Structure 1
Amino acid sequence: MANNHPNSLPPPSFRRIRSQTWPQENDDDIDLEELIASLPKEKGFISPIQILYRNFWCPSEVFPGVHSFCRHFTAHDSDIILACKPKSGTTWLKALAFSALRRDVFPPSANNHPLMSSNPHELVPFFEFTIYGQAGELIDLASFSVPRLFATHIPHDSLPESVGQSGCRVIYICRNPLDTIVSFCHFAPQVKPELWSGGRSSMEEYLDYCCRGIDGFGPFWDHMLGYWKASLERPDKVLFLKYEDLREDTAGNLKRIAEFMGVPFSEEEERDGVIEEIVKLCSLSSLKELEVNKTGKPGVWSTENKTYFRKGEVGDWVNHMTPSMAEKLERIMEEKLSPFGLKFRVK
């Protein structure tokens, strides 16, 4: 395979820099306290407090990492960022993108493929949770293989300026909000069981938060539209994917992802079935059965790896939402998204 970039072995664990190397850490702490005190706040669903920052609602416990990322990250032209709202196919996209990008070092058929021993969230860390979200230490970004591969839940218009000013590429995946809400409501009790009463009443409560726009990293319609518009304006820098399309044609969309990242599959690779091997390696059924994804914690929300693999079905919302709940959300989708040509199949 002929790639035009260096691609060294990813470190087994990212090298960390101790707290004394943080830029003006003490000043940042003071600024952060003052900033938090000055910003609008609302009660959250899974987070006790949501903070309105850069025009989106940020869970209070993630805010320090988000703020540090926005202040200190400098994008490189070769960087690739995977972006999404929570529970939109994040783990799957990470596995697919990593496997396609690093396939010259780790062929999908290799017994020592990193996915065999590491959760996708460890291989493609979040800026706000992992890189800038670890108290007292910072991951050394110089230890990453080039092109560097990162992830974030932050809206497009709220990303650090260097992302838009550089040649950095962004791959965004979104999912029908109806299924996203159901998926999140199965995930929530494993993250914050003390905040979860269970049952349809809890789902209705979370739906209300989403409809009012006070959902984590939301409003969801602004989140989707930000990346949607950017993909129309700069298709060479922002690739917009729908989870439903990825499920329907995983191989075809994997080819799009690889080409967008600058590592297109060669004709020889296609003949040899490399695309199909990656699809199989990264499938939900394959990932769920790996021992590493049955145990351990990747450091995101401090939850067990197994919580990131449920059904992954399209249209499962019909088994959990009442018609009135679905209609409430569909009206907002029609009002907020449809005028810009962004629609989802809901039936």
Structure 2
Amino acid sequence: MATRKPQIIRKTTSPGSTPWLPDDFGPLPDPGAQREAMLEQLLTQSGIALALMSAVSVALGWLMAGRALRPVRTMADKARRISERNLHERLAVGGPDDELKDLGDTIDGLLARLDTAFTTQKRFVANASHELRTPLTLQRAMIEVALANPAANAGSLRAVCERLLATGERQEHLIEALLTLARGQRGLQRREPVDLAALVVAVLHEQAPDDPRVERSLGPARTAGDPRLLESLVTNLVSNAVRHNVPGGWIRVHTGVSDGRPVLRMTNSGPEIPHERVEALFQPFQRFETRTGTPDGHGLGMSIVAAVADAHGAPVTAHPGPEGGLDITVTFGPADTVIAREPD
């Protein structure tokens, strides 16, 4: 049986007519609407991706910020618990040498300085109280003994009164020294031109007139400052040099200008002082020992020198002399350029 070839139907169109399509093909899609749909879908997906990335970024940023700020919170908690009663505690920040550790070490250094200042202040108050209470107790005891003596006469009572006057005079000197120390630590209230050489001459005339032990080398040394405080500085230097000396010893006083700055230098013979103890002598109530091994003076002279020099911005250098005693140099600023510390 012969196969039948399929018939191919071809339909041509004339130029300018619509192409022929099967009847069930449907209408052609609109290219503009299709493009808008794709853009809308892309925008929706981009928004979802952006929202997810933002949420992930916020979460990661929160975690990283919390980890980075955890040492700061720890430092804040420790610093909040530290008061004047436990200044010995420290932040002790560990970890790598970064900005936070450097900040912690800086705060620890500040706490160490505050601890030292508070300890020094407490020691000063305790020592001052002791120094003031001791003569008062002695005076009270002398009065009670004199009154309890039925055989007391005018002569014995007069002797007691003289001893009371001597004790009161020592108290006055101590109180005056405490006030001078307080004024020196407060800073300068006024500033006037002062010649250190003339000031030394006036003090030596009062403290050691015609003393053959004193060798003078007084050149002009003009500075600016509080004349009363500077007089206290020179008086305490001279007084310590005279009091803490040896029989047949010597005292050398020098004023002049070195490297454009007026200087005051005081050296004396005296007992040998260990080098490590020199710095402590400038603390309040630190006394030299006499040849008999007993303390002498009220222990405020060198601390007054340090306080007055600091108020005038004048560094003090001190070291033991080669033959004993001390070699002290105070270097001031010139009268036209000296900068005074403002009072607190």
Larger radius of gyration between Structure 1 and Structure 2: 2
TM-score by length of 1: 0.20
Q: TM-score scaled by structure 2? A: 0.21
